Amino acid sequence: MPREKKIDMVILGLLSHEPLTGYDMKKRIDGAIRFFWNGSFGNIYPSLKELENNGSITRCEVTSDGREKISYKITASGKEELRKWLRDEQASNELKYETLLKLFFGGVEEKNVTYHNIEVFENKIRGDLEMLRTYGKVLEKDLENEDHLHYYLTVSFGIDSYEAYLKWCAKAKKLLNGRAQR
Amino acid sequence: MPREKKIDMVILGLLSHEPLTGYDMKKRIDGAIRFFWNGSFGNIYPSLKELENNGSITRCEVTSDGREKISYKITASGKEELRKWLRDEQASNELKYETLLKLFFGGVEEKNVTYHNIEVFENKIRGDLEMLRTYGKVLEKDLENEDHLHYYLTVSFGIDSYEAYLKWCAKAKKLLNGRAQR
DNA sequence: ATCAGCATGTAAGGCGTTACATGATTCA
DNA sequence: TGAATCATGTAACGCCTTACATGCTGAT
C-alpha cells in the first residue's frame, strides 16, 4: 500500500506558488479549496514535518521575534513529487452527500420532511454559489495568468454544478408537491 | 461527541424496505447508493452487531443449511431511530475530488497534462451518466410508488449534476486550448 | 485589560478501507 | 476439478477530525 495522504499534495501545491506558514496554508484551504478538499491543523502540521524530513520542503524563514513563525518553501524534489502526482491520471473523486441519503430513504417519513431537507440543502447551496460567483468574477478578469486560469476552472466547476443543483432542487420540490401531501 | 457512523442509517434505511443479509446490503450499496455513499464488509458487519445489540434490528431468519446466512429486519425502535435522523435537518455534504485538486495546482505542469486529466474525468462521468440514465428510465415509469419517487430523485440528482460536469469539461478543454499550448 | 486572532503543535479517538481467513455452493 | 460467487467475519492500519495545550500580539 503506497502512501496516500493527499494533504501532502495540497501543501506542495500551495508552496509551488509562494512560501507559507502552516497557519497560512490552513487559511488558503479554507478559501476556495474547501469546496473540494479540506485540511485541519492536526493534519497539516504533522505532514509539514514529514515533508521536511524527506526533503520535499525546507524552512525558509523562521522569525523568532517572540512569537515563532515558520515559513516553508518547496524544494526541487518536492516540485518533482508534485509534478509526478499531477501526471498520474489516477484520481479518487468521492462525493458523500448525506442529503441524498436522507432523500433516498425518505419514503418512511412524511413528504414534507423530505421537502424541508431539500430546502435546507438549497439554501446552503445558494449561499455558497454566491460566494463562488464573487470569486469567479475577480478571476475572469485575468485568465491569461496561468494560475488564475487553473483557479478559475475549479471555481467555474463549482458554479456550474451548484447551478445544476439548484435547478434540481426546484424540480424535486415540484415533484414532491405534485403528489398528494400525505 | 455523539455517535456518527452513517452506515447505521444506510442499514436501517435498507431494512425499512425489506429484510436483508449483510451480504445483500453490500450489493444494494454497490448499486445506485454508491454514487453518494459507500460501505464495505469491514464496515457493515460490525455495525450489524451493534445495531442488534441496541435493539434497532433483529435476526429474522438464520438458514444454517451448511452455509450460514443471517437475515435481519428492522424493529420499531430502529424505525424510530431512522425517522429521527430523517427529521434532523443537519446533513454533512462533502465532496472530495482529486481531479479538482490536480486542476487547481495544474499550473506547475504543461497544459496538456491538465487537459488529459480532464479527459479522464470526462470519460468516467460519461460512463456513469449512462448507467444513471438507465436507472432513471426504469424508475420514471412508476413515480406514484413512494419509494420509486425518492429513488428517482437521487438518480436525477446524479444525472443533472453529471450533465453539468460534462458541459463544464467541454468548456474547460476549450479554455485550455484557447491559450497557447506551452 | 481583555478579547480576537496569530501561531504551533499534540493526543485521543472515530471511521473506514484493505487485506486476510474461512468455508460452502454452483456452474462450466 | 477448478473458478466464481455466496457468505460472514477479523485485524491492521491510515487518515482525519476534534479537542486540548500554550503563548504572543494587536486592537478596542
Q: What is the pLDDT of residue B62?
A: 81
- Our CA angle for A4, A7, A9, nearest 5°, is 85
Sequence-ordered list of residues with C-beta below 8 angstroms from that of A16, at least 6 positions apart, any chain? A74, A79, A82, B105, B107, B108
| Interfacial A residues in 35-74 facing B (CB < 8 Å) | 35-37
**Does residue A73 register a pLDDT over 70?**
yes
Per residue, the 3-state secondary structure of B95-125, as one string, reads: EEEHHHHHHHCHHHCCHHHHHHHHHHHHHHH
For A160, which of B79, B89, B167 is closest by C-beta distance? Answer: B167
Q: What is the pLDDT of residue B73?
A: 97
Backbone angles phi, psi at A70, to 5 degrees: -110, 115
Q: Across-strand partners of B95?
A: A95
- Where does the pLDDT of residue A65 fall: very low under 50, low under 70, confident under 90, or very high at 90 and above? low
**Does residue A9 register a pLDDT over 50?**
yes
CA–C1' span, A67 to C2, in Å? 19
Q: What is the pLDDT of residue A68?
A: 85
**Which SS3 state, helix, strand or coil, does residue B39 take?**
coil
Best-predicted range by mean pLDDT (A142-146, B48-52, B66-70): B48-52
Burial of B163 (0-12, 13-18, 19+ CB in 10 A): middle
- Our CA angle for B173, A144, B107, nearest 5°, is 65
- Where does the pLDDT of residue A182 fall: very low under 50, low under 70, confident under 90, or very high at 90 and above? very low
Please give the helix or strand (H or E) that residue B62 lies within, else none. strand B57-65
Q: What is the pLDDT of residue B68?
A: 84
Packing angle, helices B41-53 and B7-15, rounded to 10 = 70
Alpha carbon A34 to its chain's center: 3
Mean pLDDT of B13-29: 97
**Which SS3 state, helix, strand or coil, does residue A74 take?**
strand
CA distance A64 to A137: 39
CA–C1' span, B66 to C22, in Å? 14
Handedness of CA B14, B17, B19, B20 (dihedral sign): negative
CA distance B50 to B169: 44
Q: B115-144 pLDDT, tens per residue?
A: 999 999 999 999 999 999 999 999 999 998
Handedness of CA B114, B115, B116, B117 (dihedral sign): positive
Record the cell numbers describing residue B8, joined without a space: 447505521
Of B31, B63, B57, B33, the closest CA to residue B45 belongs to B57
**Does residue B64 register a pLDDT over 80?**
no
**Which SS3 state, helix, strand or coil, does residue B68 take?**
strand
- What 8-state DSSP symbol labels residue B32? T
Q: A83-140 pLDDT, tens per residue?
A: 999 999 999 999 999 999 999 999 999 999 999 999 999 999 999 999 999 999 999 9
Q: A19-64 pLDDT, tens per residue?
A: 999 999 999 999 999 999 999 999 999 999 999 999 999 999 887 6
**Does residue B163 register a pLDDT over 60?**
yes
Q: What is the pLDDT of residue A99?
A: 97
Q: B70-122 pLDDT, tens per residue?
A: 999 999 999 999 999 999 999 999 999 999 999 999 999 999 999 999 999 99
- Our CA angle for B148, B153, B155, nearest 5°, is 90
Chain B residues near residue A165 by CB distance under 8 angstroms: 157, 160-161
In angstroms, the separation between the Cα of residue B67 and the nearest Cα of chain A is 31
Q: What is the pLDDT of residue B179?
A: 67
Q: Across-strand partners of A94?
A: B96
Q: What is the mean pLDDT of chain A?
A: 93
Q: Are B106 and A83 in contact (CB under 8 A)?
A: no
Q: Domain ranges in chain A? A: 6-87, 98-180
Q: Check if CATH label 1.10.10.10 holds for domain A6-87.
A: yes
Q: Are B117 and B176 in contact (CB under 8 A)?
A: no
Sequence-ordered list of residues with C-beta below 8 angstroms from that of A73, at least 6 positions apart, any chain? A15, A19, A57, A58, A60
Query: How many percent of chain A have pLDDT more than 70?
Result: 95
B117 touches chain A (CB under 8 A): yes
**Does residue A180 register a pLDDT over 60?**
no
CA distance B159 to A164: 10
User: Best of B25, B93, B166, B174 to disrupt the A interface by mutation (most A CBs within 10 Å)?
Assistant: B93
Query: How many percent of chain B have pLDDT more than 90?
Result: 87
